[in-house]
Each structure stands twice: as C-alpha cells, then as structure tokens.
Amino acid sequence: MTETNDLHRLKTLAKRYARANRIPQHQALDLIAGKLGFPNWVKLISATKNGWEIDAEKIKGVEAFSRGALPAVTFLKGDPEAMNRRFEYLEQAEHGTIGGHAYRLQEVMGDVIIAGEGWSIRVPENPSAIPVVETYTNPELNCPVLEPEFLQRALRLATDRAGLVRAEISTDWPRRSTKPDLNGVVRHPLGRGESDVWFCLHCDGKITGRQIAETLWHCPGCGASPLDIFETAFWCEDEGKSFLPVKIGTVGQDKPEVQIVDGRPKLDLDEEKITLLMRSALLDDATNVSEKLGALLAEISVDDENDVFIALEVDLWPEDKEPVQALAVSKLLGLETDFVSSWSTIPFAWPGLGEMTLSTSEYTQMMLDAYAQYGGLPDRNAKKE
Ligand SMILES: [Zn+2]
C-alpha cells in the first residue's frame, strides 16, 4: 500500500504549499505533479493506477520544494530546478557577500532584516508596508546600499526571505484566513470569527475580507497588526457602520519601492536632556556631600526658547558659590542660564555635616550618629503609608 501512502503524502504537501502561497489546492497539486514530471495531477493519478511508483528520492525533492514555499507567481515564471537551487541558496544565506560587501540576513519578529557595514534594510511582515533602508554613514562616503544595483540585490534577498516568512505564517493560520471564500468571507487568524468586513481599531478603517487576507491581516491603511483588526467596531456606538472604507496607504502605483532613512544619531536637545546635562555639571561643581545633594535636588526648568532657570537650595548650595561647570555647559549649548537661591525643606537635619566630607558613606555615618544623639523618635503613625 506504499503507493497510497505516497499519494497521501503528496496531497499533504500540496495542501501545505497551497496554504503557504494562498493558491487553490488543485493548482498546488498540479505544481507538484509538474515537479514529478507530469503535466498535471490527473495525469499523475492515472499513471499510478497503471503501476507507476514514486521514487523516494523524488518525494524528498517535493518535500524540499513545498518547504521552500515562495509565492506561486515567482515559481510559475521560473524553471523548477533553478527555483530549487534558489531555495537552497536562501536557506544558507544567513551570511554572505554582495559585490564584496559582507551582509547578514535574519528574521526578527516576522520582519526580515539584511544588514552590513553602515546600512540595513528592513522588510516588514506586513506585505503592503514599504521596506526601510537605513544608512549609518556620512552620505559623502559611498555606502554600498545607495548604489542601485547593490540595493536591488540586497532587497531581493530580503524580500525573498520575507516571502518565506509570510508563507510560514500563512501555514500556521487557518486556510480561510488567507483564502477568502466566494463571498469574500475570511476567518480572523486569532479566532475572532468570520466575516467579509473588518474594522481597524487603530485608524477606524473598514476593510474587506479580500483586502485583509491579501495583507496578512495588517491594516492596508495604517499597517496595524492582526491584533488591532476586529469583526465589529465595538469601540464605536454604531459598531463601525459610519466608518469609511480604508484608504490604501499612498495609493498603489506611485508607492516608492523603498524608504531611505538616515539612521545616524541625531541630537534633539529637549528639556529632559538639557536638565540632565546641567544637573551633571552641578555635580561636577559640588565639592562636598551637601552640595552634591543640592545639585541632585536643584529645580531645573527650561522654557520654550531653551533658556534655563536653576533654583538651588540655600542650605545645600552656598549663595555665593558660582557653578562654574554648569555655566560652561550652558555656554557650550548656547543657553541662557539663570541661577537663584531657594528655601525649602531639606531631606536631613544639620546640613553642615554634609559640608565636612565628599564621601556619602562617611556623611551617612555622621548623619546617623547625629540623629541617634540629638534626634527624636520616628513618628510611628506617619510610618505606615
Ligand atoms: Zn488601520
């Protein structure tokens, strides 16, 4: 009965291939028959009835073929042998070179990233999203990824791999998730029911079953993930009846092939960063623990024009002490900085103790001793908060 078992095996492989590539099963059966040298599946069946036996080696070839599932269009255009070689090449393409430039290719959470010295390309899991090319070098220096031929080759490697990754995803999902029925009804891959209309929580778009299957359950408008796609717009009073059909991002034809981004670090001097630098400079100026506490507790604010205002606690920071380092940093950043003294509650009594040392552990010991000798008992009621 090996023949039957082999046929069964082939059918299973065809099913897997059909699902991965989102094509009808009969088409996958024909493709597999083609791999075994038959014009179509029907011819293969009649041959087995006439005693033809499938050789084990060939089954292995078919297995490899269905594992390396690529979109059927690509396959249909190419010669199967060439495609097989390509699959093998892809399997080992984790590290390689293009025109003498080394690269590594990897999958990260469904996205595919190919990267080399000073550049990377990310092909998102969402098939309708535009790949992002990032450069990390001065554009004057020739970054290989900015050469059209290199870019095409690197992009091809990454998009081919992304095809495999997406095929894996489709294989894991119910078939109805990627293959709408005649009425355009599809099943949510995370078990949120079946419908021909879906709603995006992220952009309030109304999406057809065919559209959402096509983009592997990413919103065709805003790219939100399958987690944000729902059968009813429960967050809206009319459950989405008023929602407009989703606008397909940057409408089809004139969509750029890639988005090129300068990935080099850019300095964005916001209030948080200015405050951090100024506080660090105040710590440089501090010559004892008291002043260190003063620097740590200083109230630093930055206004809309990036002018800085620093209030220093008078018991911790002597009124006549000039914050030399802080002024230097302020000058480097081109900021106008004002210092004022303030009076508020300080954390520990006897601030003079902090002026006697630069070591926090030494200060802590003195402070504990002083509290033990001169301090009152802790307030028990206030203790439990
Ligand atoms: Zn959306």
pLDDT per position as a tens digit, 365-375? 999 999 999 99
Taking the centre of ligand 1 as the mean of its atom positions, its distance from the CA of residue 218, in whole angstroms, is: 8
pLDDT higher than 90, residue 271: yes
pLDDT band at 77 (very low <50, low <70, confident <90, very high): very low
pLDDT band at 36 (very low <50, low <70, confident <90, very high): confident
Structure-token pair, residue 114? 């190919």
Taking the centre of ligand 1 as the mean of its atom positions, its distance from the CA of residue 82, in whole angstroms, is: 39
Q: What would the pLDDT profile of 323-362 be if each residue is shown by its tens digit?
A: 999 999 999 999 999 999 999 889 999 999 999 999 999 9
Taking the centre of ligand 1 as the mean of its atom positions, its distance from the CA of residue 382, in whole angstroms, is: 51
Q: What would the pLDDT profile of 95-132 be if each residue is shown by its tens digit?
A: 889 999 999 898 877 889 999 988 999 999 888 889 99
Q: If we measure between CA atoms, which residue out of 355, 205, 229 comes closest to residue 294? A: 355
Q: Tell me how far apart the alpha carbons of residues 272 and 247 are, in angstroms, rounded to a whole number.
A: 37
The answer to pTM > 0.85 is no
pLDDT confidence of residue 280: 98
pLDDT higher than 50, residue 78: no
Taking the centre of ligand 1 as the mean of its atom positions, its distance from the CA of residue 202, in whole angstroms, is: 5
pLDDT confidence of residue 23: 74
Q: Are 276 and 282 in contact (CB under 8 A)?
A: no
Q: What would the pLDDT profile of 228-261 be if each residue is shown by its tens digit?
A: 899 999 998 888 888 999 887 544 456 678 999 9
Place of tokens 């290989």: 144
Taking the centre of ligand 1 as the mean of its atom positions, its distance from the CA of residue 225, in whole angstroms, is: 9
Q: Tell me how far apart the alpha carbons of residues 219 and 207 are, in angstroms, rounded to a whole number.
A: 8
What are the residue boundaries of the structural domains of the chain, listed by start? 2-89, 93-172, 181-246, 271-374
pLDDT confidence of residue 72: 38
Q: Give percent of the chain with pLDDT exceeding 90.
A: 50
pLDDT higher than 70, residue 90: no
Taking the centre of ligand 1 as the mean of its atom positions, its distance from the CA of residue 224, in whole angstroms, is: 5
Taking the centre of ligand 1 as the mean of its atom positions, its distance from the CA of residue 175, in whole angstroms, is: 23
Please state, rounded to an integer, the average pLDDT across all residues of the chain: 86
pLDDT confidence of residue 17: 80
Q: Are 294 and 316 in contact (CB under 8 A)?
A: yes
- For residues 25-54, average pLDDT: 84
pLDDT higher than 90, residue 141: no
- For residues 133-158, average pLDDT: 89
The three-point CA angle 374-376-381 to 5° equals 165
Compare 309 and 73 and report the one with higher pLDDT.
309
Structure-token pair, residue 29? 């059966």
pLDDT band at 79 (very low <50, low <70, confident <90, very high): very low
Structure-token pair, residue 62? 């078919």
Taking the centre of ligand 1 as the mean of its atom positions, its distance from the CA of residue 246, in whole angstroms, is: 7
Q: Tell me how far apart the alpha carbons of residues 101 and 99 are, in angstroms, rounded to a whole number.
A: 6
Taking the centre of ligand 1 as the mean of its atom positions, its distance from the CA of residue 205, in whole angstroms, is: 5
Q: What would the pLDDT profile of 190-242 be if each residue is shown by its tens digit?
A: 888 999 999 999 899 999 999 999 989 999 988 888 888 999 999 988 888 88
pLDDT confidence of residue 45: 87
pLDDT confidence of residue 70: 46
